Chain A
Amino acid sequence: MIIVNLDVMMAKRKISSNELAEKIGITPANLSVLKTNKGKAIRFSTLNKLCKELKCLPGDILDYQDKEDEVNND
């Protein structure tokens, strides 16, 4: 399954959820969905903004782990 390591990158860049949500133009609730791996998909535009704001690559935010898709199968 795809793991979103947004919280790790946010901690590295020392940026809060509210601040990041405001900067990339999404609601804190949607950012929370992304952070907690509850999201079903991520738009390229959102990924682009995240990478731009956190000064990182998509691979730094997204990771793949070979295990059951627990979140999306419920």
Chain B
Amino acid sequence: MKITGENGIGKILKIFLQVCFYCGIIILVGLPFLLNKLGCNLGASMYVIYPNGIVLLIITHKFINLFNSLRLNNPFCEENVKILKTTGIISLIGSLLWLIDFLYEIILVHSEDIVFNCTLLFLCILFLGVSIALYILSELFRQATEYKKENDLTI
């Protein structure tokens, strides 16, 4: 299956991410009303869920830009290295936010909801893993960009 180019899978993924991005905005804006209607009270976790929603939206937006370069058949460029590195840092911020929420629930609230606490810990580890993976990917892209540049300038 073709990955790059006009009709590659990159284009389909880009459309999928765009749908996710706009749905994410709608969910983030409508979340307080939705929770109010459902009668759910997440307490202080709301202060973490919102910034994390923004973190996820930024990551999605960065990935849309990344898939733009796939469409242009030029994935190994300095811009993509920057996108991956920035996304990694943003993901690390997301991980820290989940960790703060987890510690808050354990230490201050003394929450006994094991499922909720495990979910928070899982999200924290997941975001940390994604952050490390993105950092490694950015390094790989940086090296590939250097090799490409060298190859392009070999006459």
Chain A residues at the B interface, C-beta cutoff of 8 Å: 26, 30-31, 33-34, 38-43, 46
Q: Within 8 Å of chain A (Cβ to Cβ): is B150?
A: yes
How far is the CB of A40 from the nearest CB of chain B, in Å?
A: 4
Q: Within 8 Å of chain A (Cβ to Cβ): is B153?
A: yes
Residues in chain B near residue A26, CB distance under 8 A: 155
**Residues 120-155 (chain B) with a chain A CB within 8 angstroms:** 149-150, 153-155
Residues in chain A near residue B150, CB distance under 8 A: 40-41
Complex-state Cα separation, A34 to B154, whole angstroms = 9
Residues in chain B near residue A39, CB distance under 8 A: 153-155
Encoded as 1 (CB less than 8 Å from any A CB) or 0, chain B from 40 to 73 comes to 0000000000000000000000000000000000
Residues in chain B near residue A30, CB distance under 8 A: 155
B153–A43 CB distance below 8 A: no
Top-4 shortest CB links A-B: A40-B153, A41-B154, A40-B150, A30-B155
Complex-state Cα separation, A21 to B154, whole angstroms = 15
Complex-state Cα separation, A34 to B149, whole angstroms = 14
Complex-state Cα separation, A38 to B154, whole angstroms = 10
Residues in chain B near residue A34, CB distance under 8 A: 155
Complex-state Cα separation, A34 to B49, whole angstroms = 55
**Complex: chain B residue closest to A46, CB-CB:** B155
Residues in chain B near residue A42, CB distance under 8 A: 154-155
**Complex: chain B residue closest to A34, CB-CB:** B155
How far is the CB of B36 from the nearest CB of chain A, in Å?
A: 57
